[in-house]
Structure 1
Amino acid sequence: MTRNDQKNCSRNQINLSVKISWESPSNIALIKYWGKRDIQIPLNPSISFTLSKCKTTTEVHFTKGTGIDISLDGKDKPEFIPKIENYLQRIKERHPWLVSYRLQIKTSNSFPHSSGIASSASGMSALSLCIVEFANKIGFKLGALDFYQEASILSRLGSGSASRSIYGGIAVWGESSYLKNSRNEYAIKYPEIIHPIFKNYCDVILIVDTKEKQVSSTLGHSLMDSHPFNEQRFSQAHKHVKDIKRILQTGNVDDFIQLTELEALTLHGLMMSSSPNFILIKPNTLKIIEKIREFRNNSKLPISFTLDAGANVHLLFPNSAKNKTMEFVKNTLIQFCRGENFISDHVGLGPKRLTNFEE
């Protein structure tokens, strides 16, 4: 940042009070990220579907001063402040202007906070988008090539998977020799050919457990440093990137099912074989998986499952199979969901800017 840039930035900051709002979606990884080094640098590449309906809406009121206020669904959440303070500490080198501002953050999720769905990806990406937009407004010169790349960098520093939520459709985070322009510092929109069948793929999230995870993802990632199978896992992930590139181009759903289910089970296998080890899946997780496989064998419909770092099951299927699959969900799978709760979602377009300065 040059001296002239700093002068322009300082001039634009005088007595500035601005509200900026974005909505940003969650995502579900097809190739899982598990293990990191330094500050949120992944040890293997990951690829995800960006969702549509599962999203966070965040408004940030920037005023001169210091401090943070945060509310979720209209209720003050002072317990969230340390996490936001840690995030701001991480990004202050890129955005030093933040030390002169007070942030009043109002956020809400389209899904129940108690649903067991991790909101860090949608929440941190929405907050990062607000910060980058305000930086633009005060004339601060971004360190990245463009707006969304900067937002992805900041999102990564808040929550690794949040870096992928900046882009709609399919996103990639982590360097891979099989995908051009892929980087560890930020995610990119999937750069290769995508078969039409994957552009509106469906994801029904079956809510098995709504309790907070017994083991944090941060601890889980750290255990990969000494994991007995870490090198094999990282090698497998790179091979799976190569394989899924072909699958996404050709539309081979059978191979998609085999690869993504293997990724899901590998993730939880790593948790169960780390030291200390831990189990996040529940009995109903396994019952749902058994029912999905049974229904797939009997109906010949191309449905499959994947898992996040928790007990919930993501039921994946092409849009063409939606009617029969939803009948299966309501007639069979709902009994295994906590409170009979599930969320019907699909691949989405990515974040949406809600601020309108012309109002």
Structure 2
Amino acid sequence: MNTSEFISTSPLKMIPNASFTWKTPSNIALVKYWGKSDPQIPKNASISFTLNNCHTITTIDFSLKDSSSGVDFELFFEGKKKAEFKPKIAEFFKRIEQYCPYIFDYEMHIHSENSFPHSSGIASSASGLSAIAMCLMSLEQALHPEISQAFINKKASFLARLGSGSASRSIGGPLVVWGAHPDIEGSSDLYGVPFPYQVHSNFANYKDAILLVDKGEKQVSSSLGHHLMIDHAYAENRFQQANENLSKMSQILQNGDVNAFINLVESEALTLHAMMMTSIPYFILMKPNTLEVIQKVWKYREEQDSQLCFTLDAGANVHLLYPEREEKSVNSFIESVLSSYCEKKQYICDRVGLGATQL
């Protein structure tokens, strides 16, 4: 792997103070990645819809220090200091220090907030780490104005990946591929790339309603789940299957076969959780209401001749994907039937978005 293009070699003109704010979205994988090697290299390629309403807004205030004795930062999440979040961010800064050496020269105050519950299976680390990466790249651009926006996005995805693999897919949109794959031109294990082919109009303006079945902390972190793939009995078959499914998904997105899309997306979701249930130690992140929702979705799709489908991340919440033309009927179904399976009847109506936005 050649990472030299991300190492800054030009002299930087330091500035005393700066502040940048970015809003970056979460994403929902259609073909999942589960299993990685160091440093944050996926065992298989993945593709995701970028979301819009589920996002993180992060501001970083940079102040030049007298000495560069180490990374110096304070972290505030939704207005409060979050000491428990600091180790992960500190580890992230350690991983990127050779690519962003200027972080040693600044004291950083990081203020972050989510539009959705943290650690409930809506990829908060994806939106959170990508937002920090974009703020860092805004500083790098201020110190080195010659760099292009294309390079900024590419390096931000590269940096975000070192904090959270799925964060590499939250910089752009509406469809992003992460992981080297022979059928996806320009794809890389080091950063996410926009899906490079023409997407059929059937998948334009797709909707995603997230049913908050369980808003609590996950019982098992994604990091631990990925680690359990190392000696998993079915790991190699899974990696091969996922890459084959990405080839299929690429064709589906181009030819507009929504029924094939439904079958593949739901199969991927259930396979992800099957890998969790067959690891050693094994674990189950779905809740009884997760299964109830899935059964209701299948029944609704059959009775209404609908193209509604579900997918899952590494948690209990259910993402409902559906075409824009079904928005009114699906939202009525959610409100009248599915909301009763959600915690306090809460759900989020989202849609496919375009990625990071500077505020």
Range of TM-score over shorter length: over 0.9
- Partner secondary structure for residue 13 of structure 1: coil
Tell me the CA shift for residue 109 of structure 1.
1.1
Q: Counterparts in 2 of 1:34-53, with a 5 A limit?
A: 34-53=34-53
Cα pair 1:143 1:150 within 8 Å, conserved: no
Deviation (angstroms), 1:199: 2.4
In structure 2, C-alpha distance between the alignment counterparts of 1:78 and 1:343, rounded to whole Å: 28
In 1, Cα distance between the equivalents of 2:86 and 2:149?
27
* DSSP 3-state at the match of 1:179: coil
Unaligned runs of 5+ in 1: 355-359
* Aligned counterparts of 1:210 and 1:144: Cα–Cα separation in 2: 36
Determine if the alignment matches structure 1 residue 70 to structure 2 residue 71: no
Match of 2:45, as an amino acid? P
Rounded to whole Å, the distance in 2 between the matches of 1:55 and 1:39 is 25
Query: Match of 1:188, SS?
Result: strand
Distance in 2 of aligned mates of 1:330 and 1:110:
20
1:160-239 superposed matches below 5 A: 160-239=165-244
Distance 1:138 1:232, change over 3 A: same
Contact 1:52/1:345 (CA < 8 Å) preserved in 2?
yes
Give the superposition deviation at 1:197: 2.1
CA distance in 1 between partners of 2:148 and 2:331 (Å): 46
- In the alignment, residue 14 of structure 2 is paired with which amino acid? Q
In the other structure, the counterpart of 2:87 is 82
Q: Deviations over 1:91-113 (max 9, x none)?
A: 00111111111110011112244
Cα distance in structure 2, aligned partners of 1:119 and 1:90 = 20
Matched, 1:246 2:246: no
1:27 alignment partner in structure 2: 27
CA distance in 1, matches of 2:316, 2:242: 22
Show CA shifts across 1:300-329 (max 9, x none): 010000000000000110001111111100
Alpha-carbon distance in 1 for matches of 2:121, 2:247: 31
Number of aligned residue pairs: give it. 348
Is the alpha carbon distance of 1:163 and 1:7 closer, same or farther for their aligned partners in structure 2, counting shifts above 3 Å?
A: closer
Closer, same or farther: CA 234–143 of 1 in aligned 2, 3 Å: farther
State the partner residue of 2:144.
Answer: 139
Q: Secondary structure of 2:189's partner?
A: coil
Residue type at the aligned position of 2:58 = T
Shift of 1:168: 1.4
* Aligned partners of 1:6 and 1:140 also within 8 Å: no
Q: Tell me how far 1:6 sits from its aligned partner.
A: 6.5
CA RMSD of aligned residues (A): 1.8
Equivalent residue number for residue 55 of structure 1: 55
Alignment deviations for residues 169-211 of structure 1 (CA, whole Å, 9 cap, x no partner) = 0000001111111000000001112012212110000001111
CA distance in 1, matches of 2:40, 2:25: 20
Point out the more displaced range, 110-119 or 93-102.
110-119
Moved more, 138-147 or 50-59: 138-147
1:54–1:111: 8 Å Cα contact kept in structure 2? Answer: yes
CA separation of 1:143/1:168 partners in 2, compared to 1, >3 Å: closer, same or farther?
A: closer
In 2, are the aligned partners of 1:169 and 1:199 still within 8 Å (CA)? no
**1:138 deviation in Å?**
1.1
Aligned equivalent of 1:282: 287
Secondary structure of the corresponding residue to residue 291 of structure 1: helix
- Cα deviation code 1:125-159 (max 9, x no counterpart): 01100001101111288799711000000000010
1:152·1:187 contact (CA, 8 Å) conserved in 2?
A: yes
The CA distance in 2 between the partners of 1:168 and 1:144, in whole Å, is 15
Aligned residue in 1 for 2:308: 303
State yes or no: 1:260 paired with 2:265.
yes
- Secondary structure of the equivalent of 1:153? helix
1:94 and 1:143 in contact (8 A); partners too: no
Residue number in structure 1 paired with 2:68? none
Shift of 1:243: 0.6
Distance 1:77 1:143 in 2: 34
TM-score (norm 1): 0.93
TM-score (ref. length: structure 2): 0.93
| Structure 2 residue 340 is matched with structure 1 residue 339 | no
Cα distance in 2 for residues equivalent to 1:339 and 1:118 = 21
Q: Does 1:273 align with 2:274?
A: no
SS, match of residue 52 in structure 2:
strand
Q: Would the alpha carbon gap of residues 114 and 274 (structure 1) be closer, same or farther in structure 2, given more than 3 Å must change? A: closer
Following TM superposition, by how much is the alpha carbon of 1:117 offset from its aligned partner in structure 2, in angstroms?
2.9
CA distance in 1, matches of 2:245, 2:353: 23
Once the 2 structures are TM-superposed, how far is the Cα of residue 7 of structure 1 from its aligned partner?
Answer: 7.7
Change (3 A) 1:110 1:194: same
- State which drifts further: 130-139 or 264-273: 130-139
Work out the percentage of aligned pairs sharing the same amino acid. Answer: 46
Amino acid at match of 2:108: L
User: Are the aligned partners of 2:252 and 2:258 in contact in 1 as well (CA < 8 Å)?
Assistant: yes
